[in-house]
């Protein structure tokens, strides 16, 4: 089992920044690719970003590319999502997730999930 706990969400004005963190415990963190997903009210949970086990490869959904940066610190068992130039449409609950597949981007490929952290961007 892998336990994941997100933090760092909050209320921010459009154009502002937030940094989300996700602390992992349980099995060896570096064995898992890590992803961030988000779910807005009334919408499906969607992929945001993914980082490979080593941190050497990242991938983003188009709407956040250039604004969000995913990173990880395997020594601290933590993955981060730096979010800059936030827009009201980024408002959602953000979830981190772990996958044993290094290039996972589909929700079904992630087997461990955190409880989520709310991000609200005001206009």
pLDDT of residue 15: 98
Q: What is the pLDDT of residue 27?
A: 83
What does the buried/exposed string (b/e) look like for 56-72 if buried means 16 or more CB atoms within 10 Å of the residue's CB? eeebbbeebeeebbbeb
Cβ pair 111, 100 in contact under 8 A: yes
Closest CA to 112 of 103, 101, 120: 101
Please indicate whether residue 1 or residue 51 has the higher confidence score (pLDDT): 51
Dump the DSSP string for 32-93.
SEEEEEEE-TTS--EEEEEE-TTS--EEE-GGGTTTEEEEEETTTTEEEEEE-S--GGG-EE
- How far, in Å, CA of 24 to CA of 121, rounded? 26
Reported as a single tens digit per residue, the pLDDT across 74-84 is 999 999 999 99
Question: What's the pLDDT at 86?
Answer: 98
Residues 81, 43: Cα–Cα separation, whole Å: 21
pLDDT in tens, 5-36: 999 999 999 999 999 999 999 889 999 999 99
Note whether 52 and 58 are within 8 A (CB): yes
Cα–Cα dist 118/93, whole Å: 4
């Amino acid at each position: 089992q892998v336990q994941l706990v997100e933090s760092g969400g909050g209320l921010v004005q459009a154009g502002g920044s937030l940094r989300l963190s996700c602390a992992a415990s349980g099995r060896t963190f570096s064995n898992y690719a890590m992803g961030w997903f988000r779910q807005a009210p009334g919408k499906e949970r969607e992929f945001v970003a993914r980082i490979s086990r080593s941190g050497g490869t990242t991938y983003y959904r188009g709407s956040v590319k250039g604004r969000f940066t995913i990173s990880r610190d395997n020594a601290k068992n933590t993955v981060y999502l730096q979010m800059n130039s936030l827009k009201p449409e980024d408002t959602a609950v953000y979830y981190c997730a772990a996958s044993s597949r290094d290039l996972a981007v589909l929700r079904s490929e992630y087997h461990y999930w955190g409880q989520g952290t709310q991000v609200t961007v005001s206009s």
